[in-house]
Amino acid sequence: MLKKKDKYVVAVVGATGAVGNEMIATLEQRNFPVEKLRLFASERSEGKHLDFRDESIKVETLNEDSFKGIDIALFSAGAERSRTWAPIAARSGCVVVDNSSQWRMDPEVPLVIPEVNPQDLKWHKGIIANPNCSTIQMVVALKPIHDAAKIKRVVVTTFQAVSGTGQKAIQELEQQVRALYNFKEIEKKVYPHQIAFNVLPHIDKFLENGYTKEEMKMVNETRKILGDDSIRLTATTVRVPVFRGHSESVNVETEKKLSADECRAILSTAPGVVVYDAPEKNIYPLPIYAAGKDETFVGRVREDESIENGLNLWVVSDNLRKGAALNAVQIAEKLVEMAG
């Protein structure tokens, strides 16, 4: 458990990536009590400097002694590096908040969204998992509905921005758009097909059941976070030519009937949720409006007329903020709050 201090030594692992950059910015914007910030990345980034507050901080590479004296480490370096370095960090007395998929379904590791299941932080053993970006925004919206009417089934289709793949994917979309406008050949390196002006029903690897890993992450992580294996859930995840902000079409079946107005009222008081829903005025969540914001936006709330107790929601959030960096920093804030 984190020891109570006025300020903490914090590390960001994977600091030069899209999420790592966002973690640094979020720590600064939320005035996290940082005594000292240390930044780590791969060998190719060694020697770079990144700004935090009024300081230029040199990026380091990891070694066995890197985590000595560090209180909290925010990991955004991929599953393989997390598998190697997170246990080393935890053994050094550091609390790890990991953004990769490596620890999410480990029964010994809590999978936490602070607005949903902060109580699970009490049983961490040095590593805490940050959920998948698409799972986070959906479950932030689902939790108050589940509490009010018990969710039986969820059908979700996601429309996910290229920033979810990382900095190289952002650059690939930019380059493809420029190439197409200039009547040049496009290059495909990150995605198997053109992403510019296209949609790809393919995020992560395909599994034997025909689903992708991303789709099954949403199924399994949702049940773990909500602590309810009885919820039936199916997902189709789609990559779209948007730079930042994931959108989701979510169909929910509940045990108890909720009208659309009741659902809006419940969501309007839910932590981390903004109801943005006046379609007659063309008001509904859009990724361009969610970019750079912390909240999860919900609109197009309506009853599913094909079943007795059904609702449709349109859920949008910044995948680099609430879907990754912000959620990790919020976990760190909860750890500070709970520190003894």
pLDDT surpasses 90 at 122: yes
Q: What are phi and psi of 201, to 5 degrees?
A: -80, 55
Average pLDDT over residues 283-303: 97
Say whether both 16 and 44 belong to one domain: yes
Give bridge partners of residue 9 from the DSSP assignment: 36
Question: pTM score, two decimals?
Answer: 0.94
CATH value at residue 195? 3.30.360.10
Helix 213-226 × helix 133-149 angle, to 10°: 40
Per-residue pLDDT, 173: 98
Which residue reads 């007795």 in tokens?
A: 308
Q: How confident is the model at residue 44 (pLDDT cuts 50, 70, 90)?
A: confident
| Structural domain for 243, as ranges | 135-319
127 and 197 co-located in one domain: no
246 is catalytic: yes
Dist CA 270 CA 257 (whole Å)? 19
> Considering only CA atoms, which of 245, 335, 252 is closest in space to residue 300?
252
pLDDT of residue 140: 98
What is the number of domains present in the chain? 2
CA distance 273 to 258: 18
3-class DSSP state for residue 54?
coil
In angstroms, how far is the first alpha carbon of the chain from the final one?
A: 8
Token pair, residue 133, equals 């970006």
Q: What is the pLDDT of residue 180?
A: 97
Conformation bin of residue 60: beta by default, left when phi > 0, alpha when psi is -120 to 50: beta
Q: Is residue 3 part of a domain?
A: no
Is 133 designated active site?
A: yes
For 230, which DSSP code? T
Confidence of residue 46 (pLDDT cuts 50, 70, 90): confident
Q: Same domain for 230 and 314? A: yes
CATH number at 119 reads 3.40.50.720
274 lies in some domain: yes
Within a domain: 57:
yes
Verify that 104 and 140 share a domain, yes or no. Answer: no
Q: How much is the mean pLDDT over the chain? A: 96
- Considering the domain boundaries, does residue 254 fall inside one? yes
Contact of 227 with 220, CB cutoff 8 Å: no
Of 32, 46, 24, 44, residue with least CA distance to 2: 32
Q: What is the pLDDT of residue 332?
A: 98
pLDDT score recorded for residue 340: 74
78: left (phi over 0), alpha (psi -120 to 50) or beta: left
Residue 179 has pLDDT above 90, yes or no: yes
Cα 216–Cα 219–Cα 225 angle in degrees, nearest 5:
130
User: How far apart (Å, rounded) are the C-alpha atoms in residues 198 and 266?
Assistant: 36
Q: Closest Cα partner for 101 from 88, 89, 83, 85?
A: 83
pLDDT tens sequence across 53-111: 999 999 999 999 999 999 999 999 889 999 999 999 999 999 999 999 999 999 999 99
- Flag whether 277 is in a domain: yes
- Of the pLDDT bands very low, low, confident and very high (cuts 50, 70, 90), residue 45 is confident
Mean pLDDT of 19-39: 97
Residues 299 and 176 in one domain: yes
Question: What does the pLDDT look like over 197-247, one tens digit per residue?
Answer: 999 999 999 999 999 999 999 999 999 999 999 999 999 999 999 999 999
Average pLDDT over residues 152-162: 98
Catalytic residue among 94, 124, 133, 263: 133
